[in-house]
Amino acid sequence: MKRLEGRIALISGTARGQGRAAALRFAAEGALVVGGDLLHEEAVETQRPIAREGGTALAPGPLDVTDEASVGSWVAEAVDAFGGIDIVYANAGAVRFGGIGSQPYEDFAFTMRAEPDSVWPTVRAAWPHLAHSRGCVLTVGSTAGLTGSLTNLRTARSAAKGGVIAPGRQLAAEGAPYGIHGSARSHA
Ligand SMILES: NC(=O)c1ccc[n+]([C@@H]2O[C@H](COP(=O)([O-])OP(=O)(O)OC[C@H]3O[C@@H](n4cnc5c(N)ncnc54)[C@H](O)[C@@H]3O)[C@@H](O)[C@H]2O)c1
């Protein structure tokens, strides 16, 4: 028996990078993967190796995780296709780096919106389904949300990833009565 046999996993940002890697890995462990990305064609491309290996993956429509309507359709497609949601892996994110003395406010504001908003609408839309399945939420932090750096100029990213890490603790508290559990990954 594979570790995620039959689990329905919603993973954002599956066009490339860690989201693509997660989609392949979750499918190899038996999960039914519902991916999605702004880069829709690349997200669909991620399905091919999964299908070749006999796994199951969908990437319905272009997904913008910062747009509630887009996320609502994505979650509905997952539930229509598989009957529920067991795992939400809110992986997608976007960032503009820059130092406090030089970064334009527009770039700061973009990052401040993109990172937390990549998590909240997705988790919110999936929450009733996770409560039903006693499911799991995975969010992706960063050392930027935990430490300062001498070499990586990242004030906006630090603030934004702090805005991902802190609500993770609150989600754990609010999810506990429903059996929803979670994990916040933080890495370089
Ligand atoms: N790579 C690193 O070193 C690193 C370090 C710390 C944290 N992280 C975090 O890990 C996660 C994945 O990082 P990655 O390196 O794979 O990034 P990446 O840029 O390679 O991939 C991110 C994916 O998310 C998608 N995306 C961005 N905004 C989106 C939106 N609004 N709607 C839908 N899809 C959207 C992009 O199109 C892309 O396919 C991110 O949350 C990132 O902040 C990465």
pLDDT at 87: 98
pLDDT at 185: 65
Take residue 23 and report the two structure tokens written for it.
């989609």
Residue from 11, 14, 16, 88 to probe ligand 1 pocket by mutation (most atoms less than 8 Å from CB)? 16
pLDDT at 187: 57
Could you give the C-alpha distances from 116 to 35, 55, 107, 122, in angstroms and in order?
19, 31, 15, 10
Using pLDDT thresholds of 50, 70 and 90, give the confidence band for residue 174.
very high
Kindly report the protein residue whose alpha carbon is nearest to atom 3 of ligand 1: 188
pLDDT at 184: 67
- Ligand 1 atom having least distance to the Cα of 64: 32
Q: 138 φ, ψ to 5°?
A: -115, 125
Could you give the C-alpha distances from 159 to 68, 115, 128, 134, 154, in angstroms and in order?
22, 9, 29, 30, 9
pLDDT digits (tens, 9 = 90+) for 132-142: 999 999 999 99
pLDDT at 170: 94
pLDDT at 182: 83
Mean local confidence (pLDDT), 53-64? 96
Top-confidence residue, 61 or 64: 64
Going from the Cα of 177 to the center of ligand 1, the distance in angstroms, rounded, reads 31
- % of the chain residues with pLDDT over 90: 95
Kindly report the protein residue whose alpha carbon is nearest to atom 11 of ligand 1: 91
Domains of the chain: 8-187 (3.40.50.720)
- % of the chain residues with pLDDT over 70: 97
- The Cα–Cα gap between 113 and 167 comes to 14
Mean local confidence (pLDDT), 92-111? 97
